[in-house]
Amino acid sequence: MIRYLKAAPTTWVMQFKGSALKREGAGLSFFYWEPTTTIVQVPLASVDVPFAFTEVTQDFQQVTVQGQLTFRVAEPKKLASLMDYSVAANGAYRSDDPQKLTERLVYAAQILTRTSLQQWALREGLTRAEVLEQAVLKGLRAAEAVQLLGVEVLQVAVLSLRPTPEMARALEAEAREALQRQSDEAIYERRTAAVEQERRVKQSELETEVMVEQKRRHIRETKMAADIAMEKEREKLLEQKAANERTLADAQAYTLDKTLGPIRELDWKTLQALSQTRMDPASLIALAFRELAENAQKIGELNMSPDLLKSLLQPALPNGK
C-alpha cells in the first residue's frame, strides 16, 4: 500500500527500507510503500517535563521538591539508535520509549537533587533553590547517559521546596519566635537609644549650667577684682589726699606761727584792745594810760607835761580848738 507522509518542521524523519536508510531530515514529505518501509519520527521541539519527588536532607528531614525540566533532542540519529521512535501508519509510536525518555531525565534529575540535599540541613536546603537548580542543570549536561541519548537539557527550574507539615509548623513557630525576639530587641534598642539620648540631653543641660555658673563666677570674680582694685586706688587717693591736707595744714600752721609770732607774748588785754581800736598813736597812748591806771598802786609818781596832754587831746577838739 502506498502512503503519503508530511512531517512538521520540528520533526526529524528517517525512512528505512528493510535495514537501509533511504532518506532523513526535518519536515520531509514523500510517498512510501508501507509493507517494506519503516518510518522513524523524532520530535526536535523543546519539551517541558514537570517533576515532583521527596528526598531527605542531611539532618534526616523529608523535603518535597517540585519543578520543571526543559530539554530538546539535539542528535536525533543517536536517540533513534538507542530508543524506538518508529511510528505506525496512523502516526502513533509503536513503543513507549518516547515516554521513557522523560522518565530517564527525571530520574537523573532526582539523583542529582538527592546528592545536593544530602549535603545540607533542612533549614539550609529550603533556602537554596537557586543553588539546587544550577547543580542539577550542570549535572544533567555533564551526565554520560544524557549525552549518549543525544539530548540537550535547556533549563531546570525548582518551583518549591517544602518540608513536612509538622516540620513546616515547627519552623514557622521558630521563625515567628525569632521575629518576635527581633521585634522585642528592636523595641528595647529603641528605648535604650531614647534613654541614652535623654541622658545626653540631661548631661548637655548640666554641662551648660556648669558653664553658665562658671561664667557667672568668673564675672563675679572679675567684678570683685575690679572693685578691689578700685578700692585700692581709692585708698591710695585718700592717702594722697590726707597727705596733701596734712601738708597744707602744716603750711597753714607755719604761716600762722610766723604771722602770730610777734604778738604771741602779748596778754589778752592787749590783744582785746588791739582788736577793738584802731592802731593809731592816740589809741596806743590811751591804752597805756589804762594800764597805768590799773597798776596805780605800783606807781609812786607820774609826771605828764602840758604839751603831751595837748597833743593827746588835740584831735578830739572840734576844728582843733
Write out pLDDT tens, residues 90-144. Answer: 889 999 999 899 999 999 999 999 999 999 999 898 989 999 999 999 999 999 9
pLDDT of residue 153: 95
pLDDT of residue 321: 45
**What pLDDT band is residue 285 in, cutting at 50, 70 and 90?**
low
Q: What does the domain layout of the chain look like in residue ranges?
A: 1-45, 46-84+94-163, 268-320
Q: Does domain 46-84+94-163 have CATH number 3.20.20.10?
A: no
Q: Chain-wide mean pLDDT for the chain?
A: 85
Mean local confidence (pLDDT), 165-174: 88
Angstrom distance (rounded) from CA 109 to CA 137: 8
**What pLDDT band is residue 79 in, cutting at 50, 70 and 90?**
very high
pLDDT of residue 271: 60
Mean local confidence (pLDDT), 211-232: 90
**What pLDDT band is residue 250 in, cutting at 50, 70 and 90?**
confident
Strand partners, 158: 67
Q: What are phi and psi of 48, to 5 degrees?
A: -100, 125
pLDDT of residue 295: 64
Q: How many CB atoms lie within 10 A of CB 14?
A: 20
Angstrom distance (rounded) from CA 5 to CA 18: 18
pLDDT at 75 over 90: yes
Check: pTM over 0.75? Answer yes or no.
no
Mean local confidence (pLDDT), 176-188: 88
pLDDT of residue 291: 67
Q: Contact at 8 Å (CB) between 74 and 152?
A: yes
Rounded (5°) CA angle 42-44-47: 105
pLDDT of residue 35: 87
pLDDT digits (tens, 9 = 90+) for 259-284: 766 666 656 566 665 565 555 666 66
Picking from 112, 122, 114, the residue whose alpha carbon sits closest to that of residue 60 is: 122
Mean local confidence (pLDDT), 34-48: 92
Unique residue bearing C-alpha cell 516540620: 167
Mean local confidence (pLDDT), 203-231: 90
pLDDT at 320 over 50: no
